Structure 1
Amino acid sequence: MADDHTHVQDFFSTRAADWDSRFPDDGPAYAAAVGELGLRPGGAVLDAGCGTGRALPALRAAVGPGGTVIGADVTHAMLQAALRAGREASGALLLADAARLPLRAGVLDAVFAAGLISHLPHPARGLSELARVVRPGGRLALFHPIGRAALAARHGRALSDDDLRAEPRLTPLLAEAGWRLDAYTDEDSRFLALAVRTG
């Protein structure tokens, strides 16, 4: 499994140091997406593929000082950047593969995942693992601070229905992994798919 992540680690390791400065205006979009997770004070939430921990302050604000916030990422350099930014004050940072989390089943109320799904070597397996650690009725937010069309244009690609985040492809993928798609937004300013843990 480690080999599956080599390209992901290489990609993000070389970009970790200046990641936040490349996207300086995304903070409000992250906070708005976190707001739609419906977290309550005292709740427990994971930021899966947390990168530099940009969502952690908003997640901490949502669950309050008595809640649990964990940021997990497979790339050491991104977690180091999170530490340099002081984001460990908002949540515990964990070097971990989102598809093999060192967490007990059903311990979380929600998972926030920004840009994660396209970096999972095995998306169905990764989404199933996120479902494993969330209680029934808990929520998942798959987020990106720009929509699919804008992201494709940024990378010089055509928008494709084969994209994992295309609603017709994402809905059955989530269902197979133990989630029910509850809301879907894909506009230039953001992508947000909200799902509920079934069972």
Structure 2
Amino acid sequence: MPHRDDDSFELPAQAVVLASDDRRAVQAFRIGGSAWGLRFPLEADSATVVDEEARATLTALEPWRECLLARFTALAAGRAEHTATRAFFTRRAGAWEDRFAYQTPAYEAAVARMGLGRGQTALDLGCGTGRAMPALRARVGGEGTVLGVDVTDAMLAAARTGRCDAGQLLLADCTRLPLPSGSVHGIFAAGLLDHLPHPRTALREWARVSAAEGTLLIFHPAGRAERAARHGRPLSPDDPLAEPNLRPAPATTGWRLAVYDDAEQHFLARAVVAG
């Protein structure tokens, strides 16, 4: 929306102001989950300005304007994946636990294969309602740390309702974890890796936060063939979890694949930090 620098405009009632300063009440804003706005003087076109000093200033600004708008566009595009994920899971968060409660024993059995010890730190990435967190807590004990990480606040709210004693919850991007390097002993990731736009970026980040001999368990409570049949499609050779695709990925991201188990009733891949 082009406007003069001294123009004023009112944002819709549902807009959220992201940045402001003493001169302008709105510098950047968000509307809903999929629209962002950035205010920058678009009249910075030297050809339309008569005053020579102002023209020189605006001429100097023009490349910065293009750079700023390009970076803001890239930021908005990068958040689009999170926006879609949040929109999908926010609508389903309230019923998620009841719908999938029957899978809890499968989660417990998968966690048991991680080899966690008491006093260690475990992450449940893409934790949703936190179904794996009680099992992780049982493995690391009261002296250990369990952290559930998800990008959708509504899912974390559902986890807080029933699993607040199992561990701490963190709203964060699993590909940019606010955790120190080498601080985690076990990572549980259920139904997550194959839904990420850049799986290898995620694997590198998970390796960064993992301690020596740390464990990663990639899990789904149904095998690849069963899930494909459920959705009425054949198995895809491009599936990130297909063995020819998954096996080389850990080797280039700081992991060593130790177990690949694509059974009818579950999918499970266990990797350890490459030494």
Please state which band the TM-score falls in when normalised by the shorter chain.
over 0.9
* Cα distance in 2, alignment partners of residues 132 and 34 from structure 1: 21
Task: Name the counterpart of 1:70.
Answer: 147
Number of equivalenced pairs: 198
| Aligned-pair identity (%) | 56
> Which structure is larger by alpha-carbon Rg, 1 or 2?
2
Partner residue in 2 for 1:163: 239
Equivalent position of 1:96 in the other structure: 172
What is aligned with 2:79?
2
Normalising by structure 2, we get a TM-score of 0.70
Structure 2: runs of 5+ lacking an equivalent: 1-77
2:202 corresponding residue in structure 1: 126
Name the amino acid aligned to 2:108. A
Match for residue 269 of structure 2 among 182, 193, 199: 193
Aligned to 2:30: none
Residues 144, 190 of structure 1: 8 Å contact kept = yes
Higher relative contact order (CA 8 A, sep 6+): 1
2:160 maps to what in 1? 83
What's the CA shift string for 1:130-162, capped at 9, x where partnerless? 111001211000000000011111122211121
> TM-score with structure 1 length normalisation?
0.96
Is 1:107 the equivalent of 2:152?
A: no
Separation in 2 of the partners of 1:71 and 1:24?
Answer: 18
How far 1:24 sits from its partner (Å)?
Answer: 2.3
Structure 2: distance between partners of 1:153 and 1:81: 30
Matched with 2:36 is: none
Matches within 5 A, 1:146-185: 146-185=222-261
Mapped partners of 1:10, 1:153: distance in 2: 26
Structure 1 position 2, deviation (Å):
2.3
The runs of 5 or more residues in structure 1 that have no matched partner are none
Q: In the alignment, does 2:234 pair up with 1:137?
A: no
